[in-house]
A = this chain, B = another copy of it.
Amino acid sequence: MGRTSDAKERLIEAVIELIWTGSYGSTSVDQICERAGVKKGSFYHFFESKTELALAGIEHGWSEHRKKLDQVFSPVVPPLERIWQCFRDFTLEQGELREKHGRVLGCPIHTLGAEVSTVDEKLRQKLQDILSQFVCYYESAIRDAHAQGFIQAPDAPALARILFAYGEGLLAQARIWNDLSHLNSMELGARLILGVKS
Interface residues on A, range: 35 or more
Closest to A110 in B: B172
Indicate if the CB atoms of B192 and A124 lie closer than 8 Å.
no
Once A114-B115, A115-B111, A192-B193 are accepted as A-B contacts, the answer to whether A185 and B162 lie under 8 Å apart by CB is yes
In the assembled complex, the CB of A170 is this many whole angstroms from the nearest CB of chain B, namely 4
In the assembled complex, the CB of A143 is this many whole angstroms from the nearest CB of chain B, namely 17
- Docked CA distance A24–B22 (Å): 12
Residues of A at the B interface (CB closer than 8 Å) are 21-26, 103, 105-106, 110-111, 113-119, 124, 127-128, 131, 158, 161-162, 164-170, 172-173, 175-178, 182, 185, 188-189, 192-195
Could you give 17 example pairs across A and B, Cβ below 8 Å?
A23-B23, A23-B116, A25-B26, A26-B119, A114-B114, A114-B115, A115-B115, A117-B178, A118-B175, A128-B176, A131-B176, A158-B185, A161-B173, A162-B188, A166-B189, A168-B169, A192-B193
